[in-house]
Amino acid sequence: MNNHREKTTYDRSGTAQRGSTERRKNTAGRGSTACRRSTVLRGSTLLLGGLLAMGLMCGCGNKAVTQSASAIAQADTSRTICPDYAEVTPKYVFMYAENQPADYPTSLGAFRFAYLVHERSEGKIQIRVYTDSELGDETDLYRELQYGGVDFMRASLTGLTQFDEEANVLVMPYLYESSEHMWKVLDGEIGQEIMDSFEGTGMVPLSWYDAGVRNFYMREEASTLEDFAGKSIRIQDSAMMKDVITLLGAQYVVLEYDEVFSALQLGRVDGAENNYSSYESMGHNEVAPYYIEDEHTRIPELQLVSQATYDRLSDEEKEIIRECAKESALYERQLWAEREEFSKNAILQEGGTIVKLTDEERAKFQEAVQPVYELYVGNYMDLIERIRAEAQETD
Ligand code: GCU
């Protein structure tokens, strides 16, 4: 059976087309080319962003920044420009940073967003989407976004909690009962309250993107909490996740996303944790074939615009950005479901093992990490209770 190689392809506006192209994995996570490229770019964008922050480019603003930077990195504009307005000289050219490969749901959502914005602004707003961490690693980009060195980015909520403590309520371990439960929370009042709590951070949340459920994976077989004892596990840079790993009896190692493949391959870490799509897309399944379905977190992702960029827009332009971000998010959510299925199949087809935990075993993991609730969301337990209550209403 080879049907997992039957792959969805996408036309220039990001619309899904069924096809049977050969599945091509992202290589950025494994080799060093992308990393080297991003180092060069990071320096350039930092410098350009710095100039902007000092006001040396007043009058030209981000447009000048974007054009100089794009001379270094060529974004693929074929999916982000609406042909009807291809000849229009844009009023703004913005940069959008994405750390996933170009065929990943969040990247396709970004292409769709940029295309819609270009179309609805009748060519006035052009957004160049840079995938594969081409503009730098996720953790470096937060600062750039804050001063407008990068205009837009899609980020995992984990790292953003350092700027907004309240956002921790959405990333707590073993909190949601299902994807429906999480979406009920994000689409409702709580999701909006957390977006509003970013006020003053220099980042403006636009829409929630799906990133499924995160599980642990290991180079060696593991199926009980005891098997985690003393193991080194890669995590995102998050104080809460450091404690989670320690409470599970393991040791944490903080690494950037594009460093994980080689760390696993070389045995610098015994395991890591991520959703099915990232695990498969980055080829981690090839070097850590035991995927343990403990479903410890569901980490939503945010599409963000820099406050500095947002403030330069007219009300009408702001409305276009908000509307297109929401539409692109619905699209991404649909792609996410497809990609997750595809990845689950691919993991098995490629010889991986999906380890199911017994309810009893999963309860041990859950119990072990309980102290992080008091430590990280002790002041927001009312919100946690409201999130839990949404689960009852979902049933
Ligand atoms: C997910 C997420 C990325 C993040 C990564 C990580 O794949 O989409 O934005 O960088 O997790 O674990 O670092």
CATH code, domain carrying 374: 3.40.190.170
Residue closest by Cα to atom 7 of ligand 1:
278
User: Is 220 found in the same domain as 257?
Assistant: yes
Ligand 1 atom closest to residue 272's alpha carbon, by position in its atom list: 12
pLDDT, position 394:
64
Residue closest by Cα to atom 5 of ligand 1:
257
| Residue numbers of the chain with a pLDDT score lower than 70 | 1-74, 394-395
Ligand 1 geometric centre to CA of 86 (Å): 33
Q: Is residue 247 part of a domain?
A: yes
189-196 and 381-394 helices, crossing angle to 10°? 150
User: Is 195 found in the same domain as 110?
Assistant: yes
Q: Please, which residues have CB within 8 angstroms of residue 302's CB and are 6 or more apart in sequence? A: 154, 155, 157, 160, 195, 205, 206, 207, 208, 209
Distances, alpha carbon 66 to alpha carbons 13, 157, 251, 394, in Å? 22, 26, 41, 44
Residue 382 and residue 169: Cα distance in Å, rounded?
10
| Amino acid identity at 89 | T
User: Is 30 found in the same domain as 63?
Assistant: yes
User: Is 204 found in the same domain as 224?
Assistant: no
Kindly report the number of other CB atoms within 10 A of residue 333's CB atom: 17
User: Is 93 found in the same domain as 227?
Assistant: no
Kindly report the number of other CB atoms within 10 A of residue 179's CB atom: 16
Distances, alpha carbon 71 to alpha carbons 41, 64, 352, in Å? 11, 11, 42
User: Is 198 found in the same domain as 51?
Assistant: yes
Q: Is residue 16 part of a domain?
A: no
Ligand 1 atom closest to residue 156's alpha carbon, by position in its atom list: 9
pLDDT, position 77:
87
Q: Is residue 14 part of a domain?
A: no
Ligand 1 atom closest to residue 256's alpha carbon, by position in its atom list: 13
CB 235 within 8 A of CB 254: yes
Q: Is residue 13 part of a domain?
A: no
Ligand 1 geometric centre to CA of 241 (Å): 14
Q: Is residue 168 part of a domain?
A: yes
Ligand 1 geometric centre to CA of 272 (Å): 11
pLDDT, position 74:
65
Strand order in the sheet with 251-254: 251-254, 232-235, 271-274, 214-218, 290-297, 353-356
Q: Is residue 7 part of a domain?
A: no
Ligand 1 geometric centre to CA of 85 (Å): 34
Among 100, 277, 336, the mutation site with the greatest number of ligand 1 atoms within 8 A of its Cβ is 100
User: Is 104 found in the same domain as 226?
Assistant: no
Which residues span the domain enclosing 385?
Answer: 214-298+347-394
Residue closest by Cα to atom 2 of ligand 1:
156
Ligand 1 atom closest to residue 273's alpha carbon, by position in its atom list: 12
User: Is 158 found in the same domain as 261?
Assistant: no
User: Is 275 found in the same domain as 243?
Assistant: yes
User: Is 312 found in the same domain as 251?
Assistant: no
Pocket of ligand 1 (CB under 6 A): 99-100, 138, 156, 211, 236, 257, 274, 278, 301
Q: Please, which residues have CB within 8 angstroms of residue 58's CB and are 6 or more apart in sequence? A: none
CB 156 within 8 A of CB 236: yes
Residue-by-residue DSSP string for 264-312: HHTTS-SEEEE-HHHHHHTTHHHH--EEEEEEEE---EEEEEEHHHHTT
Ligand 1 geometric centre to CA of 381 (Å): 27
Residue 314 and residue 392: Cα distance in Å, rounded?
42
Q: Is residue 127 part of a domain?
A: yes
Give SS3 for 337.
helix
Number of structural domains the chain divides into: 2
* Beta strands 301-306; 92-97: pairing state: unpaired
Q: Is residue 116 part of a domain?
A: yes
Residue closest by Cα to atom 3 of ligand 1:
156
User: Is 150 found in the same domain as 277?
Assistant: no
CB 303 within 8 A of CB 154: yes
* Beta strands 203-209; 301-306: pairing state: antiparallel
Predicted TM-score (pTM) of the model is 0.84
Ligand 1 geometric centre to CA of 54 (Å): 31
User: Is 171 found in the same domain as 88?
Assistant: yes
Report the Cα–Cα distance between both ends of the chain, in Å, rounded.
36
